[in-house]
Amino acid sequence: MGGPAGERSPPRLAYDLTQRLGVLDIPAGATPKTLPLWKIGFTIQRFDSIYQQGVVIDASWRLTPVNQPQQTVLICQAEVRRPAGKDIASLVQSHQMALHELAAVIASQLSNQAISPTSAVQLKGCTRAPLIFNKG
């Protein structure tokens, strides 16, 4: 069944992104050298289940353009709070919805669309940085 739920979240997020964007999830190193793509780093800092109350996910991500010289790196952090019912199944469903909403925000960023104002995601901030190559 795998490790803790927080450890299983990135594959779920990747699947959701591929479905939203209509793209493939390509393993690192398995792409043609000139194919433009995005490398996505995702870290969960907080993954809480509060029985009979709700869930909280605090996450950060880094969107790094590959073979896209006109693009910049985007680093963001957000928190998602979702209410849950009075049983474990409700907590699991709330976590799934929270990850689904994070995927929606990331997909919007990747496709240069506005983030839905109805989202339960509280974007704590983003910063853009030029892509710097280490020539060493």
The pLDDT of residue 4 is 47
- Under a CB-based contact definition with an 8 Å cutoff, are residues 102 and 121 in contact? yes
Q: Please indicate, yes or no, if residue 113 is contained in any of the structural domains.
A: yes
Give the model confidence (pLDDT) of 83-103 as tens digits: 999 999 999 999 999 999 999
pTM, 2 dp: 0.82
Range of the domain at 70: 5-23+41-129
Helix (H, G, I), strand (E, B) or coil at 50: strand
Q: Please indicate, yes or no, if residue 31 is contained in any of the structural domains.
A: no
Q: Please indicate, yes or no, if residue 36 is contained in any of the structural domains.
A: no
The pLDDT of residue 2 is 40
Q: Please indicate, yes or no, if residue 12 is contained in any of the structural domains.
A: yes
Instruction: State yes or no: pLDDT of 5 exceeds 60.
Output: no
Give the model confidence (pLDDT) of 43-89 as tens digits: 999 999 998 899 999 999 999 999 998 899 999 999 999 999 999 99
Number of domains the chain contains:
1
Take residue 100 and report the two structure tokens written for it: 């689904």
Take residue 56 and report the two structure tokens written for it: 């909280």
**H or E stretch covering 69:** none
Rounded distance, CA 4 to CA 10, Å?
12
The pLDDT of residue 1 is 35
Q: Please indicate, yes or no, if residue 135 is contained in any of the structural domains.
A: no
Q: Please indicate, yes or no, if residue 87 is contained in any of the structural domains.
A: yes
CATH number, domain of 84, equals 3.30.160
Query: What is the dihedral sign for C-alpha 61, 62, 65, 70?
Result: positive
Determine the residue type at 131. L
Q: Please indicate, yes or no, if residue 28 is contained in any of the structural domains.
A: no
Rounded distance, CA 73 to CA 122, Å?
20
Cα→Cα distances 132→39, 50, 64, 69, 75, Å: 15, 41, 11, 11, 14
Give the model confidence (pLDDT) of 21-39 as tens digits: 998 888 777 778 888 989 9
Model confidence band, residue 3 (pLDDT cutoffs 50, 70, 90): very low
Q: Please indicate, yes or no, if residue 107 is contained in any of the structural domains.
A: yes
